[in-house]
């Protein structure tokens, strides 16, 4: 079906192009020519970027408008029930519970990939790993609706992370549509550039901060950033942020285009040098608090993944956990209850606006509130100090935010952490205002403390500590519209990052670790010299492959036994020279076509000898309609049905009963006409036989003819599948025609002595998922993200050390030189091959890998590989079943002994300890 649809779309595209070429000099042709010239001169990037920015601005404004109206309705219901506390509590609790459970149920039914932030998955995708269903239209719809419901519930969930995912989905979908203008967007190598631009638009459009959005997306999602995407990100983010703010002005939410959380700090002397220690304390404290937030969030997630009875119960009833969390949070924030001591009535945006104001709350008398205080009055209680209210708000919102981000709904952590940092900075600012009630004297002028400035610095430092980014300072500048505190803010953010990075990973890396996504961790800069690990130590030596002489039977067995995305192609099973790689979809199409009914009909029509060149597996998809009709007329299904047999049978029966009476002969003539329709339609003959059963002789005749013809047709129908099966068996033994397959002639290759640091750099820079390891052109193994991740984590984590399988072997070889043949040349792959000799009798541990014919191992030529398997030349560095590997397994826990399928390109099975011990006992004793 996919091939037919592709053929139809391609045919329509060719017709349109042909129509454009043959069109006259009319108005339509003139406009088309002008459009093509504009696109040719200016490029089509700006079209894609404008569409992306416009779409995301509309989506962001619609979500904000809908969630704001929902929060207004929430507060209106609470205000209308002011006379009854019980009804107030019921409305205050039930409203967010309904929205949160709806968001959780909707995402679970439509697209479970929409749950959570989305940034960890995007980091994984940008590293070259394909995650299914994460960039689809279903995930877009589920993410938008679920996030809108979550924001409208008033729960401490953020918009930034999920909106980055939404923008990336929109960019991916638009890139498929943009193939109408140019085929550049069909290039898989430009896919990461498109997603990077989508991330920048997501952050820039979420808060109206294009500069900080681009920088934040680079820091969060990219290890190596292509400078060519810089202007794309800024252009799309600026255009999107502009449209987003214009829509707010159009809706009369703002008078003009201003900052989202506008502040009015004084510009002449915003802070004094004596306040820098306080700003440094805020940065260091936010570093510790941010690391603890990440730790708490991870512990909650790990607790919900433990195999306990409670977790199993919550897994079966998915709506209980988000409903219970919402109920607890709403109960604590209920304004007439405990919420009056922590400003529970304020919504997230109201909290930020009040924390950034210019008033000093410790100097305000709650009995006489000044004019213009606004929603900041919620922080003032007649019987409770401001410090206690801020402290309670920070403590309660801290665990609420850490727990609410674990609910199965689209939710981010940027805005809740931003509010936490603002509250902590405000607390420090109020303390400074109390310690210096008259302000700070400088050059004969007294300047008072601005607690709002401390709040801005705390917000930037806390978000920077949680996300391990510095661009949060730029985002704060754009959110507040002022850069008066640029120096203390940068100091606080850098100090917070230094502390947090030394204690915990970022929130997004922590989620990657918890979800066990195939993400490549970073190398520690201080331990690069200690990575005495090479590709030969971590590569998988048992590789599934195809040769130029492989048959279709081997191809089908390989596709059934593995789920590899790419299959290596070698010259022959003896030489193992790597020729290229083939995509799995390509091989699947070839195998499906080779045994398809269309090809069988074509072979029957043209004979076994064939007429000319046999068509490829794609030729049936692009066949012309008129030619297809002619072939259909020539080759019909009646060529394979035994119609003449049934006709001759009916004639013989009618002639044998012709000597009966006149009335009976008339009935028999009618049965003769029935016998002609017997071979054409079985249901019609059966109905007529029931209606004409008037005489005994006629009914007996019809029953006899029907029963005999039915038995004959049944025998022929049973013979036909046997013929198809025999034809398929003959076709499966034929070699694969590699000329009809698209082969990548240049898959990425590494040599065996490539260091771990260089391999990590190449994988990160190019976004590789796997690389083949060759020795003088011969395929000897493959290394994927899984092996590289294990090697890096084993080298960087404290208490866990990955011991290379060949390390102890090289150490032992220095002490046992008498077992080595002398060599005069330097260390090289060919020299080491001669060093160990081609006739070595080292045996490979016997492992039950099945009988897949397309398998390569690396034993010596005298040893036999897996049953029915192919063998590769011995490794230049010796066999991998050595004492070093035994020591490695003794240090680590024993993994499962059955065959595991590699996430990337291979299947790998860890050898068993006992087999190594039994077969290498003499070496170990020596």
Backbone angles phi, psi at 821, to 5 degrees: -65, 150
For the domain 273-364+373-515, what is the CATH code? 1.10.3080.10
The Cα–Cα gap between 210 and 477 comes to: 11
* DSSP SS3 for 519: coil
User: Above 60 in pLDDT, residue 276?
Assistant: yes
What digits encode the pLDDT tens for the residues 590-644?
888 888 888 888 777 766 444 444 555 444 443 343 444 444 444 333 333 333 3
Sign of the alpha-carbon torsion through 488, 489, 495, 499: positive
623: number of Cβ within 10 Å = 14
Find the mean pLDDT for residues 129-154: 88
Q: Looking at residue 182, what is its pLDDT?
A: 55
- The torsion angle over the Cα atoms of residues 823, 829, 833 and 835, rounded to 10 degrees, is 20
Cα 647 off chain centre by: 62
DSSP one-letter string for 871-890: EPPPPTT--S-SHHHHHHHH
Domain 533-586+743-925 belongs to what architecture? Answer: Roll (3.10)
User: Above 90 in pLDDT, residue 144?
Assistant: yes
Answer with the residue of higher pLDDT: 688 or 191: 191
Q: Indicate if 533-586+743-925 has the same CATH topology as 273-364+373-515.
A: no
Q: Residue 680: pLDDT band by 50, 70, 90 thresholds? A: very low
Contact 558, 854 (CB under 8 A): yes
The Cα–Cα gap between 184 and 633 comes to: 42
The Cα–Cα gap between 209 and 707 comes to: 83
Of 60-69, 232-241, 442-451, 812-821, the one with minimum mean pLDDT is 812-821
CA distances from 271 to 135, 277, 471 (A): 46, 12, 22
Find the mean pLDDT for residues 146-170: 90
What digits encode the pLDDT tens for the residues 66-76?
999 999 999 89
Q: Looking at residue 530, what is its pLDDT?
A: 53
Q: Looking at residue 436, what is its pLDDT?
A: 82
Q: Looking at residue 113, what is its pLDDT?
A: 87
Of 62-66, 91-95, 704-708, the one with minimum mean pLDDT is 704-708
Q: Looking at residue 15, what is its pLDDT?
A: 58
Cα 113 off chain centre by: 9
Q: Looking at residue 689, what is its pLDDT?
A: 36
Paired tokens of 319: 């709506």
Find the mean pLDDT for residues 839-860: 37
Contact 907, 901 (CB under 8 A): yes
Percent of the chain's residues with pLDDT above 70: 65
Find the mean pLDDT for residues 256-265: 75
Of 16-25, 258-267, 527-536, 709-718, the one with minimum mean pLDDT is 709-718
Could you tell me which of 670, 679, 687, 669 has the C-alpha nearest to residue 648?
679
Contact 413, 117 (CB under 8 A): yes
The Cα–Cα gap between 505 and 294 comes to: 8
Cα 306 off chain centre by: 24
| Paired sense of beta strands 440-442 and 900-901, if any | unpaired
| Paired sense of beta strands 770-775 and 578-583, if any | unpaired
Would you list the domain boundaries of the chain?
Answer: 38-250, 273-364+373-515, 533-586+743-925
Q: Kindly state the DSSP code that residue 36 receives in the 8-state scheme.
A: H
Find the mean pLDDT for residues 763-789: 85
Contact 750, 759 (CB under 8 A): yes
Q: Residue 668: pLDDT band by 50, 70, 90 thresholds? A: very low
Backbone angles phi, psi at 393, to 5 degrees: -60, -45
What digits encode the pLDDT tens for the residues 312-361?
888 888 888 999 999 999 999 988 888 888 888 888 888 888 888 888 88
Partners of 577 in the beta sheet?
778
CA distances from 179 to 154, 271, 830 (A): 41, 54, 49
Q: Residue 678: pLDDT band by 50, 70, 90 thresholds? A: very low
Q: Residue 871: pLDDT band by 50, 70, 90 thresholds? A: very low
Record: fold of 38-250: Clc chloride channel (1.10.3080)
Q: Looking at residue 104, what is its pLDDT?
A: 92
* DSSP SS3 for 543: strand
Find the mean pLDDT for residues 386-410: 91
Cα 243 off chain centre by: 29
Find the mean pLDDT for residues 487-516: 89
Q: Looking at residue 2, what is its pLDDT?
A: 67
Backbone angles phi, psi at 324, to 5 degrees: -70, -40
The Cα–Cα gap between 171 and 199 comes to: 9
Q: Residue 655: pLDDT band by 50, 70, 90 thresholds? A: very low
């Amino acid at each position: 079906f996919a091939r037919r649809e592709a053929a139809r779309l391609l045919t329509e595209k060719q017709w349109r192009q042909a129509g454009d070429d043959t069109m006259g000099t009319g108005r339509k042709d003139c406009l088309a020519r002008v459009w093509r010239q504009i696109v040719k001169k200016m490029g089509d990037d700006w079209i894609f970027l404008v569409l992306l920015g416009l779409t995301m601005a509309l989506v962001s404004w619609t979500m904000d408008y809908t969630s704001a109206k929902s929060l207004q309705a929430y507060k209106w219901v609470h205000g209308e029930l002011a006379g009854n506390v019980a009804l107030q509590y019921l409305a205050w609790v039930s409203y967010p519970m309904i929205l949160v459970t709806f968001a959780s149920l909707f995402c679970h039914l439509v697209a479970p990939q929409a749950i959570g932030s989305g940034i960890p998955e995007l980091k994984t995708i940008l590293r070259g790993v394909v995650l299914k269903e994460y960039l689809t239209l279903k995930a877009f719809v589920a993410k938008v609706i679920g996030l809108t419901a979550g924001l409208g519930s008033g729960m401490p969930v953020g918009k930034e992370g999920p909106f980055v995912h939404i923008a990336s989905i929109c960019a991916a979908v638009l890139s498929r549509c943009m193939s109408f203008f140019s085929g550049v967007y069909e290039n898989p190598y430009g896919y990461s550039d498109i997603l990077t631009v989508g991330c920048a638009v997501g952050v820039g459009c979420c808060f109206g901060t294009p500069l900080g959005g681009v920088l934040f997306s680079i820091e969060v999602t990219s290890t190596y950033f292509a400078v060519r995407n810089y202007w794309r990100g800024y252009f799309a983010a600026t255009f999107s942020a502009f449209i987003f703010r214009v829509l707010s002005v159009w809706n009369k939410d703002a008078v003009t285009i201003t900052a989202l959380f506008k502040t009015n700090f004084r510009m002449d002397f915003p802070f004094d040098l004596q306040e820098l220690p306080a700003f440094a304390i805020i940065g260091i404290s936010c570093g510790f608090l941010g690391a603890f937030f990440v730790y708490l969030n991870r512990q909650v997630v790990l607790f919900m993944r433990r195999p306990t009875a409670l977790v199993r119960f919550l897994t079966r009833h998915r709506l209980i956990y988000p409903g219970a969390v919402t109920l607890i949070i709403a109960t604590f924030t209920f304004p007439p209850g405990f919420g009056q001591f922590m400003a529970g009535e304020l919504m997230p945006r109201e909290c930020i606006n009040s924390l950034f104001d210019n008033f000093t709350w410790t100097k305000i008398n709650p009995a006489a509130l000044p004019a213009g205080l606004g929603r900041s009055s919620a922080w003032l209680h007649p019987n409770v100090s401001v410090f206690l209210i801020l402290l309670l708000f920070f403590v309660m919102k801290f665990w609420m935010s850490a727990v609410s981000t674990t609910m199965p709904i689209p939710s981010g952590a940027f805005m809740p952490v931003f509010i936490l940092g603002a509250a902590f900075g405000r607390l420090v600012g109020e303390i400074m205002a109390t310690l210096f009630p008259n302000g700070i004297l400088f050059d004969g002028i007294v300047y008072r403390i601005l607690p709002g400035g401390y709040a801005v610095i705390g917000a930037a430092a806390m978000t920077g500590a949680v996300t391990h980014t510095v661009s949060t300072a730029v985002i704060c500048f754009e959110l507040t519209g002022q850069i008066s505190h640029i120096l203390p803010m940068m100091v606080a953010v850098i100090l917070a990052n230094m502390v947090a990075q030394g204690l915990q990973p970022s929130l997004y890396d922590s989620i990657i670790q918890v979800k066990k996504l195939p993400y490549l961790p970073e190398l520690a800069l201080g331990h690069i010299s200690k990575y005495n690990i090479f590709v030969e130590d971590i590569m998988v030596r048992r590789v599934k492959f195809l040769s130029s002489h492989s048959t279709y039977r081997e191809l089908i067995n390989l596709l059934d036994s593995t789920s590899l995305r790419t299959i290596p192609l070698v010259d022959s099973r003896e030489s193992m020279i790597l020729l290229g790689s083939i995509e799995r979809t390509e091989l699947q199409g070839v195998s499906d076509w080779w045994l398809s009914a269309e090809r069988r009909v074509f072979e029957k029509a043209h004979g076994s000898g064939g007429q000319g060149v046999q068509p490829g597996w794609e030729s049936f998809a692009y066949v012309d309609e008129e030619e297809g009709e002619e072939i259909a007329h020539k080759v019909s299904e009646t060529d394979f049905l035994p119609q003449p047999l049934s006709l001759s049978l009916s004639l013989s029966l009618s002639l044998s009963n012709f000597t009966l009476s006149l009335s009976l002969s008339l009935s028999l003539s009618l049965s003769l006409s029935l016998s002609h329709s017997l071979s054409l339609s079985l249901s019609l003959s059966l109905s007529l036989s029931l209606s004409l059963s008037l005489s005994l002789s006629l009914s007996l005749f019809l029953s006899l003819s029907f029963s005999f013809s039915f038995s004959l047709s049944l025998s022929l129908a049973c013979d036909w599948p046997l013929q198809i099966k025999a034809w398929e068996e003959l076709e499966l033994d034929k070699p694969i025609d590699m000329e009809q397959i698209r082969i990548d002639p240049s898959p990425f290759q590494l040599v065996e002595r490539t260091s771990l640091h260089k391999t990590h750099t190449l994988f990160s820079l190019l976004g590789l998922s796997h690389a083949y390891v060759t020795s003088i052109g011969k395929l000897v193994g493959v290394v994927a993200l899984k092996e590289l991740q294990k090697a890096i984590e084993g080298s960087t984590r404290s208490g866990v050390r990955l011991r290379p399988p060949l390390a102890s072997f090289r150490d032992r070889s220095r002490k046992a030189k008498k077992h080595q043949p002398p060599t005069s040349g330097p260390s090289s792959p060919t020299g080491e091959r001669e060093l160990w000799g081609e006739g070595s009798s080292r045996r490979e541990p016997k492992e039950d890998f099945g009988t897949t014919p397309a398998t390569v191992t690396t034993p010596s030529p005298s040893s036999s590989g897996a049953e029915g398997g192919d063998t590769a030349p011995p490794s230049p560095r010796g066999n991998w079943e050595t004492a070093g590997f035994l020591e490695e397994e003794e240090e680590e826990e024993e993994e499962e002994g059955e065959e595991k399928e590699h996430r990337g390109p291979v299947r790998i099975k860890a050898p068993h300890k006992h087999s190594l011990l039994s077969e290498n006992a003499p070496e170990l004793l020596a």
